[in-house]
Amino acid sequence: MKAPDETRRTGIGAAGAAVVGMVWLREPATAARIFFVVLLLVAVVGLKATSGH
């Protein structure tokens, strides 16, 4: 089953794009935006921890 790996890559890519936008493109770094990026990364770690690999 490939879903956890694909989900992890998608999550890390989305978080990376958001961070690049905030750092290099000067997009607003609101508390809510940072919270949801951190939440996304926590979800990725949780998926990896529960995938059984």
9: pLDDT strictly greater than 70: yes
Spatial distance between the Cα atoms of 47 and 11, rounded to a whole number of angstroms = 10
Residue 2 pLDDT: 54
Q: What is the pTM of this model?
A: 0.77
* Overall average pLDDT of the 33-43 stretch: 93
First to last CA, the chain: 11
Spatial distance between the Cα atoms of 41 and 33, rounded to a whole number of angstroms = 13
